[in-house]
Structure 1
Amino acid sequence: MKIIGKIMAAVLALSLMAGYGSIHTKQAALAAKTFKIKADVDFTLKLPESWRNNYVIKRSKSKKQGSYVAFFSKKCYQQTTDGWLFSIMRYKDDSYMDMPQYELAGKWNGFNYVAVFPTDIQTFGATKAAKKQYLKLSGGVDNVIVSIRPAERRKEEKGVCRFSDFSLKLPESWKNNYIVEMGKGNEKENSYVAFCAKECYNQTKLGWLFSIGRFTDESYQELPDYELVGMWNGVSYVAIFPTDVQFDGVTEEAAAQYQKLDKSVKKVVRSIAP
């Protein structure tokens, strides 16, 4: 009887463990599910399934410097107007670095998309249920931030030079005056698109104006002259500039063409967009 009792106890324990495991498997599967939202006209986010109907969005009216899209836990917001989880803010400069708690989440169309987080308690005066909801949602914030993507563009603008994964706006004066070279690698790493002044390139194979390099790490920081101009889909788009003269040995006309194009290089690279 003792042996039978031990066997029954073991079977019961195994069945409980199996049930416990299935519960956690279901919870993990639920946590892995996401749904995509267009957070604003210019970017999307993927939210955990557990967030559905449990959050509130507040947006600034403008889409300019310092504008934002803020996310709140629904119950806390309804009870106390607190419950702030995070915001995505737009900056054209680096002034966001003065914030106490932030993360650069994306960069395109000349804007830095910065995730800003609360530094104080957001659940004061809320019920236990509201606090529980806030804690549950706040645990998924990091995954939401890294899911940021540019919203799809509806129409192509005039003067846009498009590649498979990014585009640049070129001034009218660049028309028929430049050459593009594609570097080796793939679209996500160790590849580049180089722009050269046409006449210099034809005469000496020089005339390099800039390149857009793709990086999935921070190795670009070792380059002598660069600017991080874009960041989305896990790829950093880096403008790389020459550090030596690019029109030696060319005609005056070719040198003049190079210098004319070079004046607008910064504007071109900062126009990068998906």
Structure 2
Amino acid sequence: MVDSLALLRCLEYAATFDLLVIFQAQDAGLSRKGCMHDGASSARMGLEGIPEAAETIEVSRCLLLIEQTGVRAHFGQLSCERSIQLIDAARKRGLQVTADVAIHHLLLCDEDVNGFDSSLHVQPPLRSPLDRAGLRQGLVTDTLSAICSDHQPLDVIAKQAPFSETEPGISGLETLLPLSLKLVEQKLIELPQLIEKLTLGPAKILGLDSGTLQSGVQADVCIFDPEATWTVNDQSLLSMGKNTPYYGHTLKGRVDCTLLGGRIVFKR
């Protein structure tokens, strides 16, 4: 956690040059020893929990300083319903604030960790079902402007230890598309809205002239088959990191071709 005065000075400097400041809000003191959400599941499993306040206190502090300085800001990988409410209220007050969420926080919750599956050890942790519902609602209301993979590939050995001693993180880039398509299947959002959350939304946050198919825009294009099925395993994953809770699952939706700057960089 950065000293508040030091953070204030940094935000003042960033505001002077109209820079975007990106936060990952987590109070170090409240989260230092934790490895999962502080709730009934962590108590039952005997694991040190990370309370929601570890995130919401930091979001609140940052928003107050953002309001004082007028800086443009973005919050990455939010995990709590209360954080969404704070961001929504700040936007209604006119603050230039955006936020995103990792796909696994939209689909999973702390109850899924009951088997001590280390592939579910992530930071911020998977929260309660109520938090998950709040995040999903934030996606619908556009309080959350983007969905991210929070891609953190790890060596096999990083996950081969007691849950609390493993490295947090999910290798999420290659499963981002099929997992996001589940939100359409579940009728949470429509396909065009989902595509915007994965493309135009992130581009707007970062101020990039990208994320669209308009004439004159750089051709950064992903071509995918929404009906194609594939199994998550060593053969299908290109990443060195195989640390995903979806290992062995059959998913629907597969990327066939990717263009970057008009050049094919991946083709199945």
* TM category, shorter: under 0.3
- More strand as a share of residues: 1
Give 1 or 2 for the bigger CA radius of gyration: 1
TM-score with structure 2 length normalisation?
Answer: 0.24
TM-score with structure 1 length normalisation?
Answer: 0.24
